Amino acid sequence: MRRLKQCSELLSAMTGSLGARNDSDLADRLGVSRQAISQVRKKGQVPDKWLIKAGEMGVPLDDLCFDEHPEGDIVSIPLVEATLAAGGGSFESGGAVIDSFAFKRDWVAHKGRKEDLVLMRASGDSMEPAIFSGDMLVVNLAQTRIQQGMIYAIRIDDALYVKQVELHPGDRLIMHSYNPKYSPIEVDLKGDLAETVRVLGRVVWRCHDE
């Protein structure tokens, strides 16, 4: 079973993968200060942009983020075949479980109930630089009430999207992309498409994968 590595494990793996000898050396390779490394160790969470930087330098991030781990104080989150489009809308919307990954139980507790969490892959470039095609996302299916500016998985008809979402006066749903070459998508929740729109859940974690 595969397990998400903890912060200290990620930093150690990153140090080795980048050929660094210590935290100062790792900081130089990541283009950050030595103090930034110390602060991350205290907070217990490696910034996504550091993982992206490591990926740009040739580190396989799927292997960096996960390792094989015996069952114990861990829980399994299913990966479903549905693909979330960070682009024009994905029609790969099947809900069949194709794999599972192990996470620390206490980490999962901060993301929601295990029963409410699923893993999905992103496809497309509309959410770059936050989400890249192929990235793995944890979606909390219980968090369907929109919080302004958060990222959600949304179904419109048979197409799936991952977008930053806002609700505007007049029951207008606006789906924003981070990539400026993509225009916002507006849906009138009182219009013809209203019954075809479903918020699947909020994206509560993402891991960039080279």
Average pLDDT over residues 33-44: 88
State the pLDDT at residue 89: 45
Q: Which CATH number characterizes residue 146's domain?
A: 2.10.109.10
Q: Which residue has the higher pLDDT, 10 or 164?
A: 164
- Same domain as 123, residue 28: no
Q: Under 8 Å CB-to-CB from 56, ≥6 apart: which residues? A: none
Q: In this predicted structure, which of 7-11, 93-97, 121-125, 126-130 has the lowest mean pLDDT?
A: 93-97
Of the pLDDT bands very low, low, confident and very high (cuts 50, 70, 90), residue 71 is low
Q: For 144-154, write each residue's pLDDT tens digit.
A: 998 999 999 99
- Same domain as 117, residue 187: yes
Which three-class secondary structure string do you get for the chain? CEEECCHHHHHHHHHHHCCCCCHHHHHHHHCCCHHHHHHHHHHCCCCHHHHHHHHHCCCCHHHHHEEECCCCCEEEEEEEEEEEECCCCECCCCCCEEEEEEEEHHHHHCCCCHHHEEEEEEECCCCCCCCCCCCEEEEECCCCCCCCCCEEEEEECCEEEEEEEEEECCCEEEEECCCCCCCCEEEECCCCCHHHEEEEEEEEEEECCC
- Same domain as 104, residue 200: yes
- Same domain as 118, residue 136: yes
Of the pLDDT bands very low, low, confident and very high (cuts 50, 70, 90), residue 95 is low
Q: What's the domain range around 184?
A: 74-207
State the pLDDT at residue 69: 56
Structurally, how many domains does the chain consist of?
2
- Same domain as 195, residue 108: yes
State the pLDDT at residue 170: 82
- Same domain as 96, residue 50: no
Q: For 20-32, write each residue's pLDDT tens digit.
A: 888 888 999 999 9
- Same domain as 78, residue 169: yes
Q: In this predicted structure, which of 84-88, 144-148, 205-209 has the lowest mean pLDDT?
A: 84-88
Q: Which CATH number characterizes residue 15's domain?
A: 1.10.260.40
Average pLDDT over residues 185-196: 80
Q: Is the pLDDT reported for residue 33 higher than 60?
A: yes
- Same domain as 23, residue 107: no
- Same domain as 79, residue 63: no
Average pLDDT over residues 184-198: 82
Rg (CA), the chain: 18
State the pLDDT at residue 58: 85
